[in-house]
Amino acid sequence: MVAVLAAVMWAGCTTVPETGRTQFNLVSGKWERSMGRQAFNRIKAKQSFSENKEAAAMVQRVGRRIAAVAPLEGAQWEFALFNNSEANAFCLPGGKVGVYTGILRITQNEAGLATVLAHEVAHAAAHHSAERVSRMIAIQGAGIALVNSFGNLSGSSRTMLYAAWGIGTTVGSELPHSRRQELEADEIGLLYMARAGYDPEEAIRFWERFAAYNKSKGKNMPWFLRTHPLDVQRIERLKALLPYAKAEFRPHTPSLPPAVNEVVFIHPEDGRRITVPWKERLTLYGARRTAQIFRVGAEATVQRGGDDLPGAPTLRLRPGDVVRWK
């Protein structure tokens, strides 16, 4: 029993990234990931994926950029776009993120979507669900914590634990985080989106559109909206944080396509282009033999970038080199 307890609980306190807040957290990353994975699999089995390929690709693109700047150890990032008219998004512990097509009307552009995804990713990076579960364990007693396999739980304990994880029986809603956690996710998310190369001012515009939507929905507003802090308060706070976020802005540089992994010979007799796959330690001598060109390498010129190098047989070739004879 003590061993199980030790496996589930590893430290009482952890520090939230960016804000530096000390939080009470009894849950290991491993347990978090396992909960998130299980719940996401259930959601994926119930919900239908969006067939809008462009929108789905956008969710992947933006999600990857945000995840790349979020420090979550052992993260198992996964982003899915579900076909659901509700204006909603959620993040499960460990990095499983779901977006409903209904929120795309409000995000409107990639920076708007980045605002939502960065907010959700921030919940995961800050272990907000684990914090809530830890509080529940502390309140309910350790009995529930002593079980790290759901098979061993009674039905009611299981329901309670699922509810604490925010996973509930009606899965796929934004987790019922506390207002403090919401504002914290806003703050961290604003930094993440800026670091991922999205203009943090877009966050203000998104939340303003969201507030307008919220208002138009009145009492019928979805759960996600009701559990979020008052829009006015959130927008004011984000405005105050903008200078910090702007200082964190890093322009996004798409990674270059991989260099062509071959060298090219221009045949001295007939001018044919012959390509030879590049490999480490490939010399002009070796490549010439592969290309079956029987001219002395020393008479060749190797074009590399803008330079012409003398064709020494021992010259190590690089990908993209072009070898020609006069």
Residues with a known catalytic role: 120
- Radius of gyration, CA atoms only, the chain: 27
What is the maximum alpha-carbon separation in the chain? 85
Nearer to Zn ion, 181 or 300 (CB): 181
Nearer to Zn ion, 182 or 321 (CB): 182
Nearer to Zn ion, 91 or 300 (CB): 91
Rounded to the nearest whole angstrom, what is the least distance from the CB of residue 221 to Zn ion in the complex?
A: 15
Alpha carbons within 13 angstroms on the beta-carbon side of residue 244 total 13
- Cα 276 to Cα 258, 266, 314: the distances in Å are 17, 11, 16
- What track of x and - describes contact with Zn ion for positions 7 through 46 (by CB under 5 A)? ----------------------------------------
Q: How far apart are CA 12 and CA 80, in angstroms?
A: 33
Rounded to the nearest whole angstrom, what is the least distance from the CB of residue 115 to Zn ion in the complex?
A: 11
Nearer to Zn ion, 186 or 321 (CB): 186
- The DSSP letter of residue 51 is -
Element housing 14 (H / E): strand 13-15
Rounded to the nearest whole angstrom, what is the least distance from the CB of residue 63 to Zn ion in the complex?
A: 16
Phi, psi of 265 (to 5 degrees): -110, 135
Give the binding-site size for Zn ion (rule: CB under 5 A): 2
Which residue, among 289, 277, 271, 278, has the nearest Cα to 325 in the 3D structure?
271
Q: How far apart are CA 222 and CA 56, in angstroms?
A: 23
Rounded to the nearest whole angstrom, what is the least distance from the CB of residue 203 to Zn ion in the complex?
A: 13
Rounded to the nearest whole angstrom, what is the least distance from the CB of residue 114 to Zn ion in the complex?
A: 15
- What track of x and - describes contact with Zn ion for positions 135 through 174 (by CB under 5 A)? ----------------------------------------
Helices (H) and strands (E) in the chain, counts: 12, 10
Q: How far apart are CA 208 and CA 221, in angstroms?
A: 16
Which residue, among 117, 126, 137, has the nearest Cα to 181 in the 3D structure?
126
Nearer to Zn ion, 176 or 197 (CB): 176
Nearer to Zn ion, 26 or 225 (CB): 225
Rounded to the nearest whole angstrom, what is the least distance from the CB of residue 182 to Zn ion in the complex?
A: 5
- The DSSP letter of residue 211 is H
Place of tokens 């150890």: 73
Q: How far apart are CA 205 and CA 214, in angstroms?
A: 14
Q: Is 109 helix (H, G, I), strand (E, B) or coil?
A: coil
List binders of Zn ion among 168-227 (CB under 5 A).
182, 185
Residues that bind Zn ion (CB under 5 A): 182, 185
